[in-house]
Structure 1
Amino acid sequence: MNVMHTAKITARVSATRARSSAPARAPIAKRAASTTTRVYSPPNGSIDFGSVDEISGSVDADQDLRAAMVERDTAETLRRTIAAMGGAPVQDPAAFISTPEQRLQTSILFGSCAALCARGVVGVHENILASGGGDDPLAYASLLAAAVGAWWLSDLGTGIFHWSVDNYGSKQTPVMGDVIDAFQGHHKYPWTITKRQFANNTHTTCPATSCVTIPLLLTPDLGPNACVFMGVFCSMVVLSQQFHAWSHAKKSELPALVIAAQDAGLVISRKAHGQHHKPPFEGRYCIVSGWWNDALDGSGVLKRAERFIYDTTGVAARCWTEATFNVQEEAPEGWGNDIIR
């Protein structure tokens, strides 16, 4: 090894040791009074820190220091992102009232879903007539099975979507920024969802979902079972936000039919969803019925996905932190009186 090469290595080692002796940053918990963050799922194992060879050996011992620095920087990045999202809730009660535009969006979506289901029923009837008529209970039973399957799988769909917006992106994310910010804000001010009128609460996902249902209605060869499946599936995805709102309401505020549906496990209950609202807000993401929550959480598939995303992109999931902040469970006294019905 020539003198110049040895000098370069010595300079790199000296720089590394100088960094290790520099004063450590202040603990994250002391830098924010209302938000504390700690990475509890350290990404150290997935990072290749490399090593610097020296004539007498290596400086691989510095990997622990570098891993700690990466963990601290990851926590700081997550803390800043979480603190900046979902700020003060909308205080004007008028903003919680459904607008004509929101009602139109929900009408188009649910109208197209109903039309898909009706087309499925008509299609089965026409198939029976074309085959010579007579009763065919199995044909209608298949439609019912398609509807039940759509309800069952829609819970899984909402869980994956909820996981993604809870953990990735920010208010600056194109297209989905407002939705992501709203989900993060919901962790801080869960009471707001209970005050929104129906169309105001559900309209946000209607335009995107209508981009699925309307083209399906115009598809000429779509089978009856597929029509019913997609009609029920898309309507459940949008209605999940209303089920979500009911899961935050007190039983005394809910209609008896809704309580019965929650007790039967048809829609997510307050008890089942309440487990999600504990820092770091991980798990229990499904919000149609909650049926898939045990399967998703128990399998660890979402954790593996988070690890894969980190290994591939360097982006850590927000649930890799313990972030505590002031949570406002109840609306301010008298908020919205004489305005929201």
Structure 2
Amino acid sequence: MALPKLPPLSCSPKVNQVLECPLVDAVTTNLLAPVKTERQIWENSMLEDDPNANCEVVPEPREGGPRWGPQHKGAQELANLYSQGKRIQECICVGICLTLMAVNFVFILFHIQIERLSAILMAAFFGILTADFCSGLVHWAADTWGSVELPIIGKNFLRPFREHHIDPTSITRHDFIETNGDNFMVTIPFLGKMLWDFWVLSEDDVQKKFTWNCYVFLLAIFVAMTNQIHKWSHTYFGLPGWVVFLQEHHIILPRRHHRIHHVAPHETYFCITTGWLNWPMEKLHFWSAFECLIEAVTGCKPRADDLKWAEKRK
């Protein structure tokens, strides 16, 4: 049986007037406009999925040295600052963190109550969302402010961020320890406190804090794995099928999505765990508003140190 034909949709004159308002049109255009166009991505970022540069829009300039890649002088200098002491610290942190994760997971399985599953899943979701925000906050701060010359944090923590912008594929040449050591270190106090609670609290007190601990546990796992997820977003060849599946369904940071951050001068899309918060935060001008405020108060220019290293081409 044929379905009845519906009359065409119409709006009242007042509604039509609102929809045709220039302000509404401007807001709609801004919301729907891409953060970076395809041409901006191709012209202002290093090609990673086409190693032979067959699709390059603008040829790599020869004069003055390469703009990106392992042959860039600044990238080579930064890579050489990775020290043996830093390596030892990363190995210790990875070992402690993995041990705490395993033991806490056993305690969670032992104390879980199926009737509270919906609350636990909600806590887990917000743990992942918080991890995405934290990845953006740390990434933005380390990309935008500070200098490699700063004591302690410069060579140990800011150096990888500077290297990554002028040689994005360097992260794919780092092993598991170098890739994840710092992120695993950050989670140790939280996982340690969780283990202490499971160990010393009564069953009633454990159940009172159980939903919170599930939130912290998922937050810790995704914070710890953020740089591994980030590494996968730069790996265009040989990824396991399950990783590609998670990327394609935007459960973790997709490769194409993260390319937007690597358009010079690297001022947007800082969240690198799932990337779920990147679009809304960009449309709210979240990071740029903070940059304007900090520059007005301190006089410091955002990404000044990043630009300095990028200019060391020969």
One of 218, 221, 232 as aligned partner of 1:246: 232
Match of residue 274 from structure 1: 259
CA distance in 2, matches of 1:95, 1:197: 15
One of 82, 92, 95 as aligned partner of 1:107: 95
* Structure 1 segment 217-296 matched on structure 2, within 5 A: 217-219=195-197, 220=201, 221=205, 223-250=209-236, 252-296=237-281
Unaligned runs of 5+ residues in structure 2 are 1-62
Q: Closer, same or farther in 2 for the Cα pair 1:164/1:91, shift >3 Å?
A: closer
One of 283, 286, 298 as aligned partner of 1:298: 283
Aligned length: 237
> Deviation per CA, 1:179-223, whole angstroms, max 9, x where unpaired?
112101111111211011212210123233212321232234561
1:152: how far off? 2.0
TM-score, normalized by length of structure 1? 0.61
CA distance in 1, matches of 2:168, 2:175: 15
Q: Closer, same or farther in 2 for the Cα pair 1:303/1:326, shift >3 Å?
A: closer
CA distance in 1, matches of 2:129, 2:106: 20
Match of residue 123 from structure 1: 111
- 1:88 matched to 2:77: yes
* Structure 1 segment 158-173 matched on structure 2, within 5 A: 158-173=135-150
Q: Could you say what secondary structure the match of 1:88 adopts?
A: helix
Q: 8 Å contact 2:74–2:163 — kept in the other structure? A: yes
* Structure 1 segment 28-177 matched on structure 2, within 5 A: 33=64, 87-88=76-77, 90=79, 102-125=90-113, 137-177=114-154
Q: Closer, same or farther in 2 for the Cα pair 1:162/1:84, shift >3 Å?
A: farther
Q: Closer, same or farther in 2 for the Cα pair 1:118/1:173, shift >3 Å?
A: farther
CA distance in 1, matches of 2:283, 2:213: 32
Identity %: 21
| Structure exhibiting the larger radius of gyration computed from Cα positions | 1
1:232: how far off? 1.3
1:144: how far off? 2.1
One of 182, 190, 194 as aligned partner of 1:216: 194
CA distance in 1, matches of 2:89, 2:305: 38
1:269: how far off? 1.5
CA distance in 2, matches of 1:172, 1:163: 18
Q: 8 Å contact 1:146–1:226 — kept in the other structure? A: yes
CA distance in 1, matches of 2:92, 2:245: 30
